[in-house]
Structures are given as structure tokens and as C-alpha cells.
Chains A and B, each alone.
Chain A
Amino acid sequence: MPHALVVAEIAEDGKVKKATLAAVSFAKKARPAVGGSFSILVLGGSARAAAAELAGYGAAKVLVCEDPSLAKYTAEHYAPTVAEVGKTFSLVVATATSEGKDLMPRVAARLDAAYAGDCADVLVDGTSLRYKRPMYAGNAFGTVELTTPIHVATARQSEFDPAAPSGGSSPIEAVPKVAPGAAASRVEVVSLEAVKSERPELTEARVVVSGGRALKEQFFQVLEPLAQALGAAIGASRAAVDAGYAPGDYQVGQTGKIVAPELYVAIGISGAIQHIAGMKSSKVIVAINKDAEAPIFQIADYGLVADLFQAVPALTAELKKRKP
């Protein structure tokens, strides 16, 4: 009976990326339509520890593929094995991280399967699955059906709560690496310039403080103390990134990160639709902007019309005073 397969992702330190647990939740939701169970596949240079970690989530099996050529992720090396294992399943899903979005369409092509990316929901209708996807920068949701025997999907992390460990221990099974095609010998990972930050991970933080073009060169000088006081991650608008005030992976929006924290504070951000696409599922939105007509106020729960260079330090001081 074909079931669901989750493709896990390992962090630099060899641990399972928390993002993977969104795909596990997706598979759990979808499994009634695909035979009732799901398995997890993990690949890496050394993936045993991660496999052991993954054995606690109620999977029928945890499949491990270890090979030195998998130590650094490349789609060309990963896709053949994921497709080979995936071809005995009817749904293959990963989380829509930059790795998941790079890998899964390639896997889909190898399986000649249709692909539904960045899904906000999976709908079970008897034995068929439908996928609800944001389109037009989040201004419409499309419900799509895939008509190939195998479906490939990625899950939007902010829309699926991380699966909780379910106790028990899934059997762990080794699978061989499938020899890749010519493409793999023509790609080489040169370097990863990781952006180091003391702050929590943007997509997992409970509070996000984001800054726009208005912050200029004082981006971190102004935002860091507030983020500190709130225990928040820092995000940015595209304009702030383009101007070089913040690194590229801070960008929130249609083409940046999608976040849905408890509290999102937009500072000196006008509220372009592409920005809103990345944060409008936040529980509470605060906007600070000196222009009372800025579109961001149309979606903010609390708006403060003020000059940010005064308001942000004042807010930081107020927070410290009330919540020392």
C-alpha cells in the first residue's frame, strides 16, 4: 500500500532541522488518504543521529541513506536517491525551506510527478488529496489537484505546527545511495557564508521585529535593543536589504521568508503587498510609521504614527521599565 514519505533536513550540526517537523505534520494530516502511515527519509554524510531523533515521531520506518557525497547538500546528489525511495510512495513531501524548494521539483521531474509547492494546507477527501497553495503574493489561495500517480509537495512551515514526538520508536533501515547522473559531477559546493546572529531563527521566533528602508545605516543600532528587550528575531523589508542595511536572508515577504509569529512589529515599512505576503498570518501586528496613510496600517492591530528614531528607543525603554 503506497503511503507518504517525508524527506527530512539536517542542520550543519547534524541535528534534524526543526523545519522538518512541519512536513511531518503535513504527512500526518494527509495519511488517511494514502494508506494510513508515513515514513521518513534522511540523507547525509552521517545521518544516524538524526535518524535516531526522527524515530520518535510515529513513522512506520525511518530510512537512512549515508554517503560521503551527501555530506553537503546538492540537489544533483540527493534527487536520485529521494526519487528512488519515493517511487514506492504516493506522496513525497518536505518543508518549503530553501533546500526543500530546490530539491523537490527536481525529484518531481525525475518521477514525472506533479508538484505542489509551499502548501498552506492539505485536504483529505476520501482517498484523494488536494493542496491549498498561496498564489499572487498571497492574494488568492488556489486548491489544486495533481493527477500523476505520485504527488510531490512542500509544506509552508508557518502553516503547519511542528509535529510533537509521539513516543515509541520507529524501526531504522539503511537504504543505498543511488548513483547520480552526469549533473552531479558538474556541481561543487564552494562555501557557505552563514549569517551569524545571536537572535532566534526568523521563521521560528515568537516575536519578530522588522525594519524597512527608513532605518538607513542605523538599522541594527535602532532595532537590536528592541529585539533584545522582546527576545525577538530581526527581519527586514526588501528595500532595507537592497540598500545593504540588512543581510539578504533577513528579508520577509513573497520572495523572502514567510513568518507567522505571535507578535510582528513593522518599523519604517510601508506595507507593499509583497512584504505583507510574508507576515500577514502573524497573530498580532504592530506598525510604527510616520506616515499615517502608510498601507501597513490597514493590516496592523496597533498602529503608532511616529518618527521611529524617537519611538523605537522610547518603546525599548518602556518595555524595560515594565518588564525588567
Chain B
Amino acid sequence: MKVLVSLKRVSDPDNANKIKIAASGNAVDTAGLEWKTNPFDEYALEAALRLTENGKAPKLRLGEVVVVTLGPKECEQTLRAALATGADRAIRVDATDDALDGRLVALALKNLVGTEKPDLVLLGKQAVDGDSNQVGQRLAELLDWPQATFAATIREEAGALLVGREVDGGVLTLRVKLPAVVTVDLRIVSPTSVYSAHTEAAHKYAEGVRFAPLPAIMAAKKKPLDTKTLAELVPGAALSTRALKFEKPAARSAGIKVKDVSELVDKLMNVSKVL
């Protein structure tokens, strides 16, 4: 199977509470924040690796994983890390972050799918900076491919995937024939969540994503990394979503500590009156 995985570089989500709004009010000041790969995209990469191997012998790659990012030169770090983890090739689409929105990213990916012809595109369900949650669904429509969003489990069948999706009422299982678009949720990296056609049903993965061994980090420097431009892929690309203003949410201040459950119930009944 050939899998295309998109990776976005975001400011470190664990420090999101430290983000500042620029004085102009129309930008988020990310200075001083560390960049990381969007966690959902790391999970998508892990899922792609699991789908292109036998879980028992992961060193032998049984398919191809191509990673792609849209962003400035610095984003190549994200791609190199993915190559070290096991991806075969990388593509960077050169663009500044503020020249991109969900519509343009989906259009660019559509074009890449046209030349790369993967069997599957795997994306994170959302990028945790904009929390916008749209690229995968848009891409599926542009390609006229089936979509399975918020995937918690994937099982490869002949020419199809059985995908367990996390929905409001529980787990909804879809069968999508390839080629297809799948966006992944948190649980996709649990030990029994992804099975390629080569991996035995009894196999259990380690929880979470795999890490690149040191030699692989060196070897990754030699793996191919191509660049393209946004204008090449989306001629006349223009934004259709513009941020006018950013603001911090109203701060919630710490209340009081109660000494025991009796005081707690008193407060809830007589002060807040929520009981």
C-alpha cells in the first residue's frame, strides 16, 4: 500500500496557554513557543507505518509512506523527523503560514494526490493550532473519494479498510474501498488499533508512536525531500478565510478551597445555588 501523510508544524500544544496576542490584535504571537509536529499528524504517520508493515517485523517496509507538509523552509525539520521515523520520501510545498487556509491546503493536496497516486491519504483530524478540522473532509470531496474521519481503529481488508470512527454516540464502523481519505483521532495509536493485511490479529503494538533510532536520524538526511511551490499546485491561490482579530478568552479565576464535603455542599446549595 502507498500512503500519503500530511504533517503540519504547530506551536507546542502543551504551551498553548502561554500564547500571546500580538499588540495589533490580529495575529497570535508565537515567539518563544517551540514548534512541534501536530500530535494528530504524528498519530497519522504511526498509523501509516503500521499499515505498511508486518507488526512483528517492522524493519522490513512493505509499502511506501510519503510525507508532505505545506510551510516555510523550517518545516523541513518536521519532514526529516518523519523520514527518520520510517517514512520513505518527503515533499515540502513552499508557502508562508499566513498564505494558507484549509481550502488551499486541500486543493494543494488534491494536486499532489494526482501525481503521487497513493492508495490512502492519512491526515490528523485537526491541527491543534487553528483547531479547524476540515482539510481531510475537503480533500475527500475534491477527489470524489470516500472519507472516514476521527478514526480510532483501522483494519486492512482486500482493497478496503474497516475503520472504527469515534462519534458522539459510540463507535461507528465504516468499510471504505481504496483509494480513500482517513483522518485519525487519539486512540489510533493504542496497541490493538491498526492492522495491516500482513500483521497477525494477535499482535499488540507498544502504546503510542514509535521513535526514530539514532542511526535512522543520520540516514534520514539522505532520503529524498522534494520541494514544490503553492503556486505550482494551486495556480492563483488566494485566501478565503482571514483572521481579523484574536483575543484571549475571559480568564477564570481560582475560587476557594473548602475544608470538607459538608462545606462543599453548603456552598453549592446556598452560595452558587446549583443544587
Q: A-side interface residues toward B, CB under 8 Å?
A: 12, 74-76, 79, 97-99, 101-110, 112-118, 130, 133-148, 181-184, 186-195, 203, 207, 230, 238, 241-242, 247-249, 254-255, 257, 262-263, 273-274, 280, 283-286, 292, 297-306, 311, 314-315, 318-319, 322-323
Q: B-side interface residues toward A, CB under 8 Å?
A: 11, 13-14, 16-17, 19, 21, 28, 101-103, 106, 125-126, 128-150, 152, 162, 165-177, 180, 185-187, 190, 239-249, 252-258, 260-262, 264-265, 267-269, 272, 274-275
User: How many angstroms between the C-alpha atoms of A135 and B166 in the bound complex?
Assistant: 21
Of chain B, the residue at the smallest CB distance from A101 is: B133
Going nearest first, the 9 A-B pairs with the smallest beta carbon separation are A301-B255, A105-B134, A105-B137, A109-B141, A109-B138, A186-B177, A187-B146, A114-B240, A98-B167
Q: Which of A74, A248, A285 contacts B171 (CB 8 A)?
A: A248
Q: Are A136 and B19 in contact (CB under 8 A)?
A: yes
Of chain A, the residue at the smallest CB distance from B178 is: A186
Residues in B whose Cβ lies below 8 Å from that of A116: 241
User: How many angstroms between the C-alpha atoms of A108 and B135 in the bound complex?
Assistant: 11
Residues in A whose Cβ lies below 8 Å from that of B14: 273
Q: Are B28 and A140 in contact (CB under 8 A)?
A: yes
Residues in B whose Cβ lies below 8 Å from that of A315: 261, 264-265
Residues in B whose Cβ lies below 8 Å from that of A182: 144
Q: Are B140 and A106 in contact (CB under 8 A)?
A: yes
User: How many angstroms between the C-alpha atoms of A102 and B146 in the bound complex?
Assistant: 12
CB contact under 8 A between A248 and B166, given known A110-B141, A182-B144, A299-B254: yes
Q: Are B257 and A106 in contact (CB under 8 A)?
A: no
Question: Could you pull out 5 A-B pairs where Cβ atoms are within 8 angstroms?
Answer: A75-B140, A98-B167, A109-B142, A192-B169, A323-B275
Residues in B whose Cβ lies below 8 Å from that of A97: 168
User: How many angstroms between the C-alpha atoms of A230 and B252 in the bound complex?
Assistant: 24
Residues in B whose Cβ lies below 8 Å from that of A137: 13, 16-17, 128, 131
Residues in A whose Cβ lies below 8 Å from that of B242: 144-145, 147
User: How many angstroms between the C-alpha atoms of A141 and B243 in the bound complex?
Assistant: 10
Q: Are A118 and B133 in contact (CB under 8 A)?
A: yes
Distance to closest chain A CB from B6 (angstroms): 15
Distance to closest chain B CB from A276 (angstroms): 8
Of chain B, the residue at the smallest CB distance from A181 is: B144
Residues in B whose Cβ lies below 8 Å from that of A184: 146
Q: Are B101 and A114 in contact (CB under 8 A)?
A: yes
Q: Are B170 and A195 in contact (CB under 8 A)?
A: yes
User: How many angstroms between the C-alpha atoms of A292 and B146 in the bound complex?
Assistant: 49
User: How many angstroms between the C-alpha atoms of A171 and B244 in the bound complex?
Assistant: 39
Most chain A CB within a 10 A radius of its CB, from B148, B168, B244: B168
Most chain A CB within a 10 A radius of its CB, from B16, B136, B187, B243: B16
Q: Which of A142, A301, A305 contacts B272 (CB 8 A)?
A: A301
User: How many angstroms between the C-alpha atoms of A109 and B186 in the bound complex?
Assistant: 25
CB contact under 8 A between A79 and B185, given known A136-B16, A322-B265: no
Distance to closest chain A CB from B131 (angstroms): 5
User: How many angstroms between the C-alpha atoms of A263 and B273 in the bound complex?
Assistant: 10
User: How many angstroms between the C-alpha atoms of A230 and B275 in the bound complex?
Assistant: 8
Q: Are B173 and A102 in contact (CB under 8 A)?
A: no
CB contact under 8 A between A302 and B173, given known A114-B240, A130-B244, A142-B246: no
Most chain A CB within a 10 A radius of its CB, from B135, B150, B249: B249
* Contacts beyond the supplied A136-B16, A190-B174: 8 A-B pairs with Cβ under 8 Å: A98-B167, A138-B249, A142-B246, A189-B172, A249-B167, A302-B258, A304-B257, A314-B261
User: How many angstroms between the C-alpha atoms of A311 and B264 in the bound complex?
Assistant: 11
CB contact under 8 A between A263 and B167, given known A110-B141, A186-B180, A280-B252: no
Q: Are A190 and B241 in contact (CB under 8 A)?
A: no
